[in-house]
Amino acid sequence: MELSSLECPSKLGAVGSEASTYRLLRLVHAMDGATNTAILDVLGELKLTHALADALWQLDPALPAPTMRQMAARLQCDPSTVTFLADRLEQLGYTTREAAAGDRRAKALHLTTDGRTARERLVHAATTRTPLARLTSTEQDQLHHLLTRAMTDRDGTPTSPGGEVAGPLVDQLDDVRHPGRAEGHGVA
């Protein structure tokens, strides 16, 4: 996609803030595509599709293991889709399903040692090869602030596009910028 096409919302009849929003959305989609293209080799080595990579990304080892229902909310998909993804991640040796700590009827998705290693490779590739990695630390902090604000309701509650509280999403956005926080090391 050429950059000139990113800046031509008037061709669609967009005006004012709608035109600005259009340009931003085009850039977000372009960045997503550029990041996906940049990590294709790692996805292949790990035998992950984009959907499986997204599920693995959501399994943050610094957070409690999510239930299948929580994974469905994080991935914004049907629980049956999470079952399919969990089956595949288990077949790859990246996860196990165990009874959830607070509700033995629910199953939680736990990373295995191989799953942690695969996730670390995925996160490293995505965070070092993305166009965002070309920004300075200050620029990344500014963008992080703006994106976090965009993902927040008027009352300050972080939300996902589906309306669920998306604390883990905002936390993960923060962890990408400040990886030491996830391990409790703070930021240098």
pLDDT tens digit sequence for 62-115: 999 999 999 999 999 999 999 999 999 999 999 999 999 888 899 999 999 999
User: 39-129: which CATH topology?
Assistant: Arc Repressor Mutant, subunit A (1.10.10)
Provide the 8-state DSSP code for 59: -
Residue range 134-142: mean pLDDT, rounded: 95
Tokens coding 30? 């372009």
Task: Give CA–CA dist 15/175, Å, rounded.
Answer: 35
127-142 per-residue burial string, b: 16 or more CB within 10 A, e: under 16 = bebbebeeeeeeebee
Closest listed residue to residue 144, CA positions, set 135, 155, 156: 135
Q: pLDDT at position 152, please?
A: 85
149-159 per-residue burial string, b: 16 or more CB within 10 A, e: under 16 = eeeeeeeeebb
Residue spans per domain, the chain: 39-129, 136-179
pLDDT tens digit sequence for 4-52: 444 554 555 555 678 899 999 999 999 999 999 999 999 999 999 999 9
**Which range (6-20, 59-73, 134-148, 163-177) has the least confidence?**
163-177
Provide the 8-state DSSP code for 73: H
CA angle 107, 182, 38 (to 5 degrees): 90
Q: What sign results for the dihedral spanned by CA atoms 128, 129, 132, 133?
A: positive
Q: pLDDT at position 153, please?
A: 79
